Amino acid sequence: MIHQYFGLMIRYLKKQNFWFVFTPYFWLILFFFIPLALIFKISISVSEWGMPPYRDLFSLSEEGFKIDSTLSNYLFIFSDPFYIRSYLNSLSLAFTSTILCLVIGYPIAFYVAKSQANIRIILLVLLIIPFWTSFLLRVYAWKVLLQGSGIINSILIHLGFITEPISMLHNHYAVILGVVYTYLPFMILPLYGYLVKFDLNLIDAANDLGAKPVNTFLKVILPLSLPGIIAGSMLVFIPVVGEFVIPEMLGGSDKLYFGKIIWDEFFVNRDWPVASALAMSGIVILIFPIVIFQLMYAKYNFKNE
């Protein structure tokens, strides 16, 4: 009797377990792998005029089953330094803004994590409030602030620092500003998550053992917040590589960014196969640093479990 009941329970648990584990994978397959496969399919298709603007990969006609695929899209983008340069521009933008977000975000996260509980809640809400406004509106606000007749120029002219408005918009500095502004909370929140768990006694202990404040930071605080730094950096770096709205709104012609190039290939040139090949290449190149980061992160977490 007990044996039977036990067997039934195990079977029930196994069944539970399967759905429990499978649900997120199902989600991932439906909304990530299938679209990715479709993009891959388009990337190896031949471009042509029409709707959709590429030839079917597989066709079944009187001549029989035919696969109509090509690698020429990939060969094309890798032979044209224009695309490679735009990718490097995006990587450099992502790198610069990640560092800036880290440098600006770390002290903020530390301050929030170490303030009293009632103040901490207010500060966290202040961090999250910008998300209630559309991201487009927030970036557009910068456009208004930075433009020739914008507030910053008006104030500077009014105060007599300058006579002519400075051109602050439509260059890559404006893009960096917009990106750092937009992505800062994504750096602060994971950092905060780690720093809030940080035992302040460790700082006292390091001080007591003879470590000056700088060494205490480098040898104790920094290594222990490394998981937060990695998590925050990934949350900033990865989306910024593909960012196209901010360069579109604040950027100029001095630097072209990868995300914007893909956008233009899709919607301006209507060359879906080349755009798809660009997207696929971008993903493949990015996967390596992500995997390395993830492994580091997992190893670090495991070590400190």
Partner 1 sequence: MSNSFLEIIDLTKRFGDILALDRVNLKIEKSEIFSLLGSSGCGKSTLLRIIAGFEKPDQGKILLEGNDITNLPPYIRPLNIMFQNYALFPHLNVTNNIKFGLKEESFSKQEINNRVNEILNLLELNGLEERKVNEISGGQQQRVALARCLVKKPKLLLLDEPLAALDKQLRIQTQFELINLQNKLGITFIIVTHDQEEAISLSDRMAIMQNGEILQVGNPVEIYEKPKNTYIANFIGTANIFHILNKDNQIIIEELNYEIKNINNNKNFNKCLIRPEKINIKKIENQSDNSNVGIVKEVAYLGSYTKYLIEVNGIQFYSFMQNSLVSDNLQIKWDDKVEFKFNDSSIFWFND
* Residues at the site binding partner 1, with contacts judged by CB under 8 A: 199, 201-202, 204-212, 215, 219-220, 223-224, 303-304
Q: Which is nearer to partner 1, 216 or 281 (CB)?
A: 216
Tokens in use for 78? Answer: 């890798």
Q: Which is nearer to partner 1, 50 or 210 (CB)?
A: 210
| Distance in Å, CB of 208 to partner 1, minimum | 5
| Distance in Å, CB of 118 to partner 1, minimum | 15
Q: Which is nearer to partner 1, 67 or 200 (CB)?
A: 200
Contact 67, 58 (CB under 8 A): yes
| Distance in Å, CB of 198 to partner 1, minimum | 10
Q: Which is nearer to partner 1, 63 or 199 (CB)?
A: 199
| Distance in Å, CB of 225 to partner 1, minimum | 10
| Distance in Å, CB of 197 to partner 1, minimum | 11
- Rounded to an integer, what distance in angstroms lies between the CA atom of residue 211 and that of residue 17? 49
Q: Which is nearer to partner 1, 171 or 207 (CB)?
A: 207
Q: Which is nearer to partner 1, 63 or 208 (CB)?
A: 208
| Distance in Å, CB of 212 to partner 1, minimum | 6
Q: How remote is the C-alpha of 247 from its chain's centroid?
A: 15
Q: Which is nearer to partner 1, 19 or 302 (CB)?
A: 302
| Distance in Å, CB of 17 to partner 1, minimum | 30
